[in-house]
Amino acid sequence: MRVIALIISLLIAGYSFGQKSKSNTAKIDFTQFPTAPVKGMSKLGIQVYTNDLPFNKDTLRLYLGNMDIMKSDVERMSKVNFKALNEVALVGGQGDVTVSLAFGKPIILSKEQKTASCVVAKDGCTQYFYKVEYRLPAIAQASNSQGVLDTWELNSDMTLQFGNEQIEKHKKTEKGSSTSIQVISYTSIADLALAFNSSGQATLARKAIVKQIGNLAESIYERIFFEETKLKFDIAYGSGSAKDYAETETAAADAIAALESKNYASLQGPIKIWESWLELYNPDDKKAAVNDKVAQGFHENLSIAYSFTDEFDKARTNLDKAIKFSQSGFVNQNEVERLKAFHSFINKQENVKKYNSALALSEFVTAPDIKKLLGQRKFNEDINFLFAEDKYAELSKSYGQSSSSKDISEMSLDELLNQSAIGGNGTSDNGEISLEGRVENDMLVLSGLIDASMRGKALPESICEYPDIKTIRARNIGLTSLPDCMIKLTKMEKLFINSNSFSELPDIFGGMKNLEILDISNNNLKSLPHLLTNIKKIYCWKSIFQMQTLKLEDSLPSKIQIILNLMLESRKFKTTLLNCTEIGISLLV
């Protein structure tokens, strides 16, 4: 055991030898400008469309006072830190800039019964409630008299509770209105189930909409108002014995000085140095002066620099290259997500340049408290912002049209998901999701939002009509099985089916002679499929560790890479090391 552990340690340590990148941090006092044109704006219009949901707009209005209750103490926005050029009033309907919100079809993903002690403690008194994983797709759009300015999705997944809660209720009286707190509790499983069957759908939809209206309020600020904030950027330089990296360290220092002094024109010098060093990149030599890690650092540097010198396409291109490097070798998922998130910053900077670059800053005033104005009855009575219309399909179409027209090979994963959304979610005559128009450049990307109706079903057999397909990304779709005909997809290279609902997988992989990467993480698998011997990397975090026995010699390739992947993908190190050691015996002995 000790010998095997030592071998694994040496393998990990050996990977870190060679050239690498270090970094210094730029700390910037930064005023984030709005991404929508705000010159002369005095009225911000809000429109929320609630049609085709299990209650009407008047019922919803009674519960908007719970918007703040739906947030934790940390999340509540009691102080608004955003600023405006002049006083801005919130109105229902059209304003100088209008933000519209529309909802898609809500889905209950899972429901788990929970218990809690009664509020008034009594012997044997137990309250029952449901913890519900819920999805409510929502798309927002900002527009003005010139047309659509920006369209964006809100996070659709949330955790809601039914029962064991306090709800603010409002009632009209002759003197105006009164507010009271209603305690909702169920002391038997039967009462809880009965209440859920009668009102659960409407209650959850109301809560989800209230939560999404709160999310809308938060998303509006960065698009319509100014924020005085601090930014931190890690600027990389080379390190190692293959070459003198002093020039790259000087370039990093010069870039930090340019960013912190806001002298962005001075970034041209470091940009030239990083681009010249990237010409030394050698993908076949891990000990080259510019290997994968050093190249990743320089590409990230360029994405930062170009976003401040208004060369946004170059910023995105270099960021996508940095992301690609981050997803090879030993993958740090936090690093990957951090890089992906920078796409949002680049897009913001581009819209600022487009709409607000000519703005001259004057003395700011505090932005309106949108959540307070929308969420409290005494404030929202005169703001008629709820409309009984269905606008989701219309905004979704606009969202697709505003997506990047890049070649698919140049897109980030997030852009691919958005581009896939344009293809719609039509179904075939047999109820399957249509894949027509979804396979581009031998790649299929499914989205948990757009393809929600595939949840609990098999991947459509029509996938087998694409014999040249090389990559399938079907993460977190809720798939339960794969069609047997996929054994014919002999050109498949990468199959990402993690975070689904597979309990077993068919023996289709023997025919996939070119399959290099298989990600089956976070499923309910009890065993691995056979004939995986051609695969270079298998990711099975939260799947393989649920197995009671590990008889894997016939399934796994003779690659030590799987040990390292399993170790690095898991966060449960004690369990991981035990299982990795057992796998190691079958591979190394």
What are the tens digits of pLDDT across the range 341-389? Answer: 899 899 889 989 989 888 877 788 889 888 878 776 666 667 788 888 8
Name the residue among 471, 464, 466 with its Cα closest to residue 413: 471
**CA dist 465 to 156, 243, 408, 482, 583, Å?**
32, 51, 21, 14, 37
**How far is 260 from 45, CA to CA, in rounded Å?**
36
Decide if 477 contacts 496 (C-beta within 8 A): no
What are the tens digits of pLDDT across the range 390-422? Answer: 888 888 877 754 443 343 333 444 444 444 433
Decide if 302 contacts 314 (C-beta within 8 A): yes
DSSP helix/strand/coil, 178: strand
Residue 8 has pLDDT above 70, yes or no: no
Residue 160 has pLDDT above 70, yes or no: yes
Confidence of residue 544 (pLDDT cuts 50, 70, 90): very low
> How high is the pLDDT of residue 177?
64
Select the more confidently predicted residue: 269 or 411.
Answer: 269
For residue 462, the surrounding DSSP H or E stretch is none
For residue 363, the surrounding DSSP H or E stretch is none
> How high is the pLDDT of residue 76?
47
For residue 22, the surrounding DSSP H or E stretch is strand 20-32
Select the more confidently predicted residue: 582 or 427.
Answer: 427
| Structure tokens belonging to residue 194 | 């009965």
Domain boundaries, the chain: 2-32+242-355, 43-226+366-387, 403-588
What is the pLDDT of the chain when averaged over all its residues? Answer: 77
CB atoms closer than 10 angstroms to residue 390: 15
What are the tens digits of pLDDT across the range 431-448? Answer: 456 677 678 778 888 866
> How high is the pLDDT of residue 313?
93
pTM above 0.75, yes or no: no
What are the tens digits of pLDDT across the range 499-525? Answer: 888 888 888 887 788 888 888 877 777
Residue 11 has pLDDT above 50, yes or no: no
Residue 585 has pLDDT above 60, yes or no: no
**How far is 476 from 238, CA to CA, in rounded Å?**
37
Helix, strand, coil share of the chain (percent; to 5): 40, 25, 40
**Span 174-196, mean pLDDT?**
80
In 452-520, the DSSP E strands lie at: 471-473, 494-496, 517-519
> How high is the pLDDT of residue 476?
79
> How high is the pLDDT of residue 194?
92
| Structure tokens belonging to residue 459 | 């991947």
What is the CATH class of 403-588? alpha beta
Residue type, 137: P
Residue 569 has pLDDT above 90, yes or no: no
> How high is the pLDDT of residue 578?
30
**Span 198-213, mean pLDDT?**
86
> How high is the pLDDT of residue 18?
62
Confidence of residue 582 (pLDDT cuts 50, 70, 90): very low
CB atoms closer than 10 angstroms to residue 179: 12
**Helix orientation angle between 2-15 and 573-588, rounded to the nearest 10 degrees:** 100
DSSP string, 101-170: EEE---EEEEEEEEEEE-SS--TT-EEEEEEEEEE--EEEEEEETTEEEEEEEEP-EEEEEESSEEEEEE
> How high is the pLDDT of residue 89?
92
Select the more confidently predicted residue: 220 or 381.
Answer: 220
Phi-psi sector, 480: left (phi>0), alpha (psi -120 to 50), beta: alpha
Select the more confidently predicted residue: 392 or 548.
Answer: 392
